Structure 1
Amino acid sequence: MKILEQVIKFLINSPRFFSLVLISLKNRLILRLKLNHHYYNIKKMKLRLQLLLILLLPMGLFAQTNIKVLDADSQEPVSFVTVKVDTRKAVTANEQGELTVDLTEPSNLLFSHIAFVDQMVLIPASGEVTVYLERGENALTEVLVSSFESERPLLEQAAGIARVAEAELYRFNETSLVQAFNTKPGIRIEERAPASYRVSIRGSSLRAPFGVRNVKVYWNGMPFTAADGTTALNMLDLSNIQNTEIIKGPAGSIYGAGNGGVISFTSKESIDENKISAALSVGDFGLVRYRLGIDQKLENGGISVGYTSQKSDGYRDHTAMDREVVQVTGYYQPSKKQKLTTQILYSDLFYELPGALTADQLAENPQQARPGSAAMNASISQKSMFGTLSHDYRFNHNLDNKTSLYINTTDFENPFNTDYKKETQFSYGGRTSFTYDDIWANIPVRLIGGGEYQLSKTSALNFGNNGGQIDTIRFGDELLTTTSFLFQQLEAELTDNLLMTVGLSENFSSFDIARNIDAINGVPSNATRNFDLVVVPRVALSAKLNANSALHASISSGFSPPTIDEVRTNEGSINLDLEAEKGVNYELGYRSSFNKGKVNVDGSVFYFKLDETITTFVNEDGVVLFRNAGATNQKGVELMVDYALIRKQLGFVQEVKVTHSFTGHYFKFDEFMKGDDDYSGNDLTGVAPNTLVNQLDIKTKPGFYLNFTHQFVDDIPLNDANTVFQEAYHLMNSRVGWRGDVGNALDLEFYFGVQNLSNASYSLGNDLNPYGGRYFQPAAPRNFYGGIKVGLRY
């Protein structure tokens, strides 16, 4: 018996037998053995000990951890949270958000709920633990945006702001951002050929026959729009974008020039796990896209590397596209007060330009390219390197600063039907912003101030095009462009429900064109333009009606100087008389969330008065030229409503969500003379009066999902005279798939999609006011795609 007692004592005191049950039985069991060893025979004692060890052995291998799950904001219990414990099973919390798990060692558990953000939490092997979950961005009160350098809920922002979350990018084919952006009211991105983008925010594309103009673009807080006003948006792959915020209309008080608005892209901001990922998608017209990526945590930061390749033959003749993108990002946090981020983005892009068709050519064969495009090798080859360094520093609880620097090089080659261009650009710049929080006379205030500077140097050569090869040089220029501005902003919480914002910026810009080679005129020349100082104010109010609804109103001034490509055109002329556009925007909006975020409303009405409007015209050689054309009156209404028909954590169908967005843009030329023709009162060229988008999203507990999108686009006038229109069309897209995890380490997704489900005939981007009636750039008919994604955490 003494030997058995010693064995039991050893087992009980062993580290593997620390369970509360064993501890509570320890003294009682030993005492009973001592008192009764004279009364029980050895056989019965052995039998009892064997049974006891068999029953208690599993309890010695596992320890119990009691978990309580709470809403991080309200501190209320989150009912029926699903917790993935290991590769074999998942458990569900009760109605009070409580559950108990058995663990042999501290483990990472995945907490998921349809109304909250999935979260991986390290749980200890015993004791009491409280887990706080952040609500998913289902309600406007929970969507945080930092569009005006001030992170606040969207409900409190006094401006027309649209947000495109990462999940919305993946409702469609992942080859471009066009379809996701076009679901937002007031926003339209056109793709006249694969990777040839044109961005229109509230009708701002009138002066952008190609490329992205009159819109300021940022990437991770860095100016992505060059000093000359152009933006190589096609450098970016979807993998370089996680979230997007879009300011609609002028926001010059803090972002400088641009009447169209601001697009702010952000990629992944930190690394919270080690992961290897891969993705492959294929589709019609020779589409192949694949991506490889790795995220590695380090002691005080991490590094992320991604490579993406995308190729396609295109629907039309001469529309092949080939792009490779590499992004390397490093994060380092030397202390709690500061953070360093560095990024290198390299893009190698080639795409063919099929050109626009006449109405007869469109009817004959929509797949054909413009005659001569293939023979002249009309295409763009663009190699770009973009390097950045950002430093965030918090001086104290009142004051912090973010400073960002970038350097960019681009090699650009563009054989076209009428000429052959080669450009090499080197540019650099930076932005700094200070934020100071304080209380003045019992009023909480936030002061934001800083500045931005950009410089670009471009060597631009223009040749003749001889069968797709460089011919005799026509002219060669050295271009120097600078732009800079200072900005100040005051936010004052006048009451608990009233926020006032006053902003101001002072803007400077200039360009210098040194024509060193001029085969047309035979004499080198120099042209310089310094634009006058432009002061841009903004005043806005946001009034909360209750905890879930608010009104906002604002008056914003904006201006947009001509880009270097508008002043210096392809046929060799230099138009120094082109003036900057100037406008004032008046806006009133309403936002609200109902029924715990299941219903959301975001609407606004605006009036934008634009003077010195820059419009396009084409000479008899087909070269696009620019001029100021009086003024425009732009009245509009934009509305988005989304609601969850079903949201049940324990149901097979967890969520059914419906979203509607409406855009009413009633834009007119106020004063517009074109030679002897008076187009005053005509509809603004390139703008659809009415657009309606309907979306249906279904999620299921096993991981199956369905996304369906319907878009109606009204007739679009294609010339200033309003005699030619793109006919109204209905466009439908759908994607189905399954996404989930296998164990705690492997993420999987399979998907299949259809674009243009109804086989509509339409153009996703038309040429405006073209020479020879070449208006139409037909988009692809019904087409299919599919893919797989794999992520391995290690």
Structure 2
Amino acid sequence: MFRILSLLLLTVLPLTLFAQTRILVLDAQSGDPIPYVSLKGNNIAAYVVDEKGQVSLSLEQPTEMRFSHVAYESKTQTVPVSGTLTVSLQRAENSLSEVVVSSFDTERPLLEQAAGIARVSEADLFRFDETSMVHAFNTKPGIRVEQRAPASYRISIRGSSLRAPFGVRNVKVYWNGVPFTAADGTTPLNMLDLSNLENTEIIKGPAGSIYGAGNGGVINFSSSQDINENRISSDLIFGDFGMTRYRFGLSQKMEEGGIKVSYVKQKADGYRDHTAMDREVVQLTGHFRPSENQRLTTQLLYSDLFYELPGALTASQVEEDPSQARPGSAAQNASIDQQSMYGVVSHDYQFHPNFSNKTSIYINTVDFENPFNLDYKKETQFSYGGRTSFTYDAIWGSIPVRLIGGGEYQFSKTAAQNFGNRAGQADTIRFSDELQSTTAFLFQQVEAELSEQFLLTLGLSENFSSLDIARNIDAIRGMPSQARRTFDPVIVPRIALVAKLNATAAIHGSISSGFSPPTIDEVRTNEGTINLDLEAEKGINYELGYRSSFNQGGINVDVSAFYFKLDETITTFTNDQGVVLFRNAGATDQKGIEALVDYALIRNQLTFIQELKLTHTFTGHYFTFANFVQGENDYSGNDLTGVAPHTLVNQIDIRTRPGFYLNFTHQFVDDIPLNDANTVYQEAYHLLNARTGWRGSIGTTLDLEVFAGVENLSNASYSLGNDLNPFGGRYFQPAAPRNFYGGIKVGLKY
């Protein structure tokens, strides 16, 4: 008996000790084996599959492992202690047919979206110094972000910054699915750090059929992702002109969700005099799943921002010393001091496999203080709002359709006071107002798959908005007053068609209407005027585009041409006191072509250079005033102010097997007219930026990156944002010359 038991033990024990798991890694689309995929898990050795996509390994217990390959999306999966496991990997988002975007409230591949859409990923942001979004966004065709001082942004999508002397206007911005643009039409974009922007989708041109007001377009920021690991991370970046940025992050996975917290502090002295900035941002995110059909997300964002305003210079001042501030800016403490709290709750519910809803609500508070050369402004704002969207998939006859419907509501109340400015301190009050802004709209959309080749979209929204201004103190006129403007309801339609030529190519066309009422800052200006006669801009956009991918996503092409006819265009001018005012300028004709081509010269996991990728983008904006007469001046036919007719961007990205990388960016910007008469221009310039570093893992728990870079490599003289139609010839806001930066990132899994 003892011999039999011993024999059985000797037979079974080796099987137990040497039990192995055979893993086969396949391409999810083709089913072909993927060679040389790396496998990493906590506290175990790393593995690499062979040329047939196979590997065998011995484990003491089921282990969660990460599968990664340069040409595929990484995937985490639990590996058992024995048996055979087949793992399918999705190709990396190189092919346009595989890139899924959620624009127009529907998730579809970019190939099936009938609109000009640009994506800015984390990888795009990490090609530069990570202190602002400016350079990454400016690599996309049709988009220009300006920064006249650190943290002072102005966004132009297809020339929409014409009416934005400061701040972000005429563009609707969302953050994690809720409105980030306030009810009064302004957007505090400078309160966001790059760590709050993990993915961005930009719709170019009017999208009012589902997003309401804004002729320029829509920006959808996203920072919320599933928390699938416990992780501590920290970044440190430093550079010329006193720039430092420090970030700390913590992710904690929970049984049915997780929490994430991050803290960022960024400071800089600035290249020009009086351009220091200091910002702290805290974000707390929670993801929870109350049931299989529900998802609850909470977001809390707090930002404390201070930055100085150097002011614009004349041409002679730029020639004398481009680093100087406008005379008086420092003495008057021209600056922005802003604290903002933004709270969001989002709830997704899947009622049925074909019927779902997403509802989000937010509350926002802002304390704002702005001493300027001519006055001193203080504002306290409280706002709230929300958005809900229902999606239903059905079959009408033999045609699959998707029905989308919902609404959005926003309200803001602001206590605004304007004082005199005496040596940087608030002096005698000039006027004090209570401002209320309300905006709301309903939207409906039908998507019909007429056949395997044709997708038709019909959209419509009904929009309502109003402004209330109660002037409680008026030192100029001596008596209180009341002003109210209710804009006529606006119906905004859109029709779009996608025709798929094959699995990786499609053409698209659309006709979309848009409108943009004046913001509260345009109706109520700093010198005390209340301009209730300012009309909303209205326009129609016609667009035709082509997208295709070749060589399994190795080559991608995205081209679109458009014609945008805009009426009641709002433009800026400056009075003899230097105060920016606004007026309707008749009509503009905006014709353009935008193109992107990227291709991988090398994409091979086995070679030293694993990937060599080139990207080229071209923007041709041929915008003119169709009918613009001001007094004795007829500007009809002139080029649209502030818009470069041609922009070209070239990018080179290199990744190597040891982990070293190089990103190189060249940007050409054509001459930009700076006044309506087209008598003053910013000269064309070439801008060169580069970043290099090493990115890899040490062991199974530590991720590390070390990098360094240079901006404005060729030391070009240029501006990232100019003043348009200023008084006294103060057009220019010089940008920094050649400057360097470096940093380190550490991530620890626990």
- Give the TM bin, normalised by the shorter chain: over 0.9
CA distance in structure 2 between the partners assigned to 1:495 and 1:7 by the alignment: 69
Superposition deviation, residue 269 in structure 1: 2.1
Give the match for residue 189 of structure 2: 233
Contact (CA 8 Å) 1:353, 1:380: kept in 2 or not?
yes
Secondary structure of 1:790's aligned partner: strand
TM alignment of 1:626-775, pairs within 5 A: 626-775=582-731
Q: Does 1:135 align with 2:132?
A: no
CA distance in structure 2 between the partners assigned to 1:264 and 1:664 by the alignment: 24
Q: Does 1:571 align with 2:527?
A: yes
Q: Does 1:501 align with 2:422?
A: no
Partner of residue 425 from structure 1, selected from 381, 395, 407 = 381
CA distance in structure 2 between the partners assigned to 1:6 and 1:394 by the alignment: 57
Residues 88-124 of structure 1, C-alpha deviations (whole Å, 9 max, x = no match) = 8543323332221222222222211111012222211
Secondary structure of 1:584's aligned partner: strand
Superposition deviation, residue 731 in structure 1: 0.1
Query: Which amino acid letter does the alignment assign opposite residue 91 of structure 1?
Result: Y
Partner of residue 360 from structure 1, selected from 316, 335, 351 = 316
Secondary structure of 2:162's aligned partner: coil
Query: Which amino acid letter does the alignment assign opposite residue 638 of structure 1?
Result: E
Partner of residue 559 from structure 1, selected from 515, 533, 544 = 515
Deviates more, 1:102-111 or 1:483-492: 102-111
Superposition deviation, residue 742 in structure 1: 1.2
Residues 386-426 of structure 1, C-alpha deviations (whole Å, 9 max, x = no match) = 00000000000110000000000000000000000000000
Residues 285-315 of structure 1, C-alpha deviations (whole Å, 9 max, x = no match) = 0011010010001111100000000000000
Give the match for residue 340 of structure 1: 296
Secondary structure of 2:209's aligned partner: helix
CA distance in structure 1 between the partners assigned to 2:669 and 2:532 by the alignment: 37
Q: Does 1:791 align with 2:739?
A: no
Give the match for residue 576 of structure 2: 620
Query: Which amino acid letter does the alignment assign opposite residue 258 of structure 1?
Result: G
Superposition deviation, residue 87 in structure 1: 6.5
Partner of residue 604 from structure 1, selected from 560, 566, 578 = 560
Give the match for residue 18 of structure 1: 15
Superposition deviation, residue 81 in structure 1: 1.6
TM alignment of 1:58-207, pairs within 5 A: 60=17, 62-84=18-40, 89-207=45-163
CA distance in structure 2 between the partners assigned to 1:151 and 1:587 by the alignment: 21
Residues 304-356 of structure 1, C-alpha deviations (whole Å, 9 max, x = no match) = 00000000000000000000000000110011101000010000000000000
Contact (CA 8 Å) 2:458, 2:495: kept in 1 or not?
yes
Partner of residue 331 from structure 2, selected from 375, 380, 385 = 375
Query: Which amino acid letter does the alignment assign opposite residue 605 of structure 1?
Result: A
Higher-Rg member (1/2) = 1
Partner of residue 299 from structure 1, selected from 242, 255, 262 = 255
Give the match for residue 414 of structure 2: 458
Secondary structure of 1:579's aligned partner: coil
Contact (CA 8 Å) 1:713, 1:730: kept in 2 or not?
yes
Query: Which amino acid letter does the alignment assign opposite residue 731 of structure 1?
Result: L
Secondary structure of 2:521's aligned partner: helix
CA distance in structure 2 between the partners assigned to 1:386 and 1:8 by the alignment: 70
CA distance in structure 2 between the partners assigned to 1:3 and 1:505 by the alignment: 84
Superposition deviation, residue 10 in structure 1: 4.5
CA distance in structure 1 between the partners assigned to 2:443 and 2:44 by the alignment: 56
Give the match for residue 237 of structure 2: 281
Give the match for residue 480 of structure 1: 436
Residues 399-458 of structure 1, C-alpha deviations (whole Å, 9 max, x = no match) = 000000000000000000000000000000000000000010100000000000000000
Query: Which amino acid letter does the alignment assign opposite residue 82 of structure 1?
Result: S
Superposition deviation, residue 700 in structure 1: 0.7
Secondary structure of 1:63's aligned partner: coil
Contact (CA 8 Å) 2:666, 2:687: kept in 1 or not?
yes
Deviates more, 1:107-116 or 1:721-730: 107-116
CA distance in structure 2 between the partners assigned to 1:86 and 1:576 by the alignment: 64
Give the match for residue 34 of structure 1: none
Secondary structure of 1:578's aligned partner: coil
Q: Does 1:387 align with 2:384?
A: no
Residues 181-201 of structure 1, C-alpha deviations (whole Å, 9 max, x = no match) = 000000000000000000000
Superposition deviation, residue 3 in structure 1: 7.4
Secondary structure of 1:335's aligned partner: coil
Partner of residue 369 from structure 2, selected from 405, 413, 428 = 413
Give the match for residue 350 of structure 1: 306
Identity rate, percent: 72
Superposition deviation, residue 701 in structure 1: 1.1
CA distance in structure 1 between the partners assigned to 2:6 and 2:337 by the alignment: 79
CA distance in structure 2 between the partners assigned to 1:12 and 1:294 by the alignment: 48
CA distance in structure 2 between the partners assigned to 1:364 and 1:106 by the alignment: 70
TM-score (norm 1): 0.93
CA distance in structure 1 between the partners assigned to 2:283 and 2:376 by the alignment: 30
Secondary structure of 1:189's aligned partner: strand
CA distance in structure 1 between the partners assigned to 2:600 and 2:340 by the alignment: 43
Superposition deviation, residue 13 in structure 1: 4.8
Secondary structure of 2:253's aligned partner: strand
CA distance in structure 1 between the partners assigned to 2:609 and 2:668 by the alignment: 28
Contact (CA 8 Å) 1:454, 1:484: kept in 2 or not?
yes
Give the match for residue 588 of structure 1: 544
Residues 649-669 of structure 1, C-alpha deviations (whole Å, 9 max, x = no match) = 111110000000000000000
Contact (CA 8 Å) 1:423, 1:458: kept in 2 or not?
yes
Superposition deviation, residue 9 in structure 1: 4.9
Secondary structure of 1:522's aligned partner: coil
CA distance in structure 2 between the partners assigned to 1:103 and 1:338 by the alignment: 35
Query: Which amino acid letter does the alignment assign opposite residue 535 of structure 1?
Result: I
Contact (CA 8 Å) 1:376, 1:417: kept in 2 or not?
yes
Query: Which amino acid letter does the alignment assign opposite residue 600 of structure 2?
Result: A
TM alignment of 1:248-267, pairs within 5 A: 248-267=204-223
Secondary structure of 2:163's aligned partner: coil
Give the match for residue 211 of structure 1: 167
Contact (CA 8 Å) 1:749, 1:790: kept in 2 or not?
yes
CA distance in structure 2 between the partners assigned to 1:707 and 1:118 by the alignment: 22
Contact (CA 8 Å) 1:506, 1:534: kept in 2 or not?
yes
Structure 1, gaps ≥5 residues long: 20-59
Q: Does 1:778 align with 2:715?
A: no
Contact (CA 8 Å) 1:87, 1:742: kept in 2 or not?
no
Contact (CA 8 Å) 2:453, 2:500: kept in 1 or not?
yes
Deviates more, 1:222-231 or 1:127-136: 127-136
Superposition deviation, residue 82 in structure 1: 2.2
Secondary structure of 2:190's aligned partner: helix
Contact (CA 8 Å) 2:44, 2:700: kept in 1 or not?
no
CA distance in structure 2 between the partners assigned to 1:567 and 1:643 by the alignment: 48
Query: Which amino acid letter does the alignment assign opposite residue 180 of structure 1?
Result: A
Contact (CA 8 Å) 1:85, 1:91: kept in 2 or not?
no
CA distance in structure 1 between the partners assigned to 2:559 and 2:83 by the alignment: 49
Give the match for residue 220 of structure 1: 176
Query: Which amino acid letter does the alignment assign opposite residue 592 of structure 1?
Result: S
CA distance in structure 1 between the partners assigned to 2:29 and 2:371 by the alignment: 57
Superposition deviation, residue 277 in structure 1: 0.5
Contact (CA 8 Å) 1:273, 1:297: kept in 2 or not?
yes
CA distance in structure 1 between the partners assigned to 2:646 and 2:43 by the alignment: 51
Paired residues in the alignment total 750
Structure 2, gaps ≥5 residues long: none
Query: Which amino acid letter does the alignment assign opposite residue 133 of structure 1?
Result: L
Contact (CA 8 Å) 1:178, 1:190: kept in 2 or not?
yes
Superposition deviation, residue 251 in structure 1: 0.4
Contact (CA 8 Å) 2:555, 2:598: kept in 1 or not?
yes
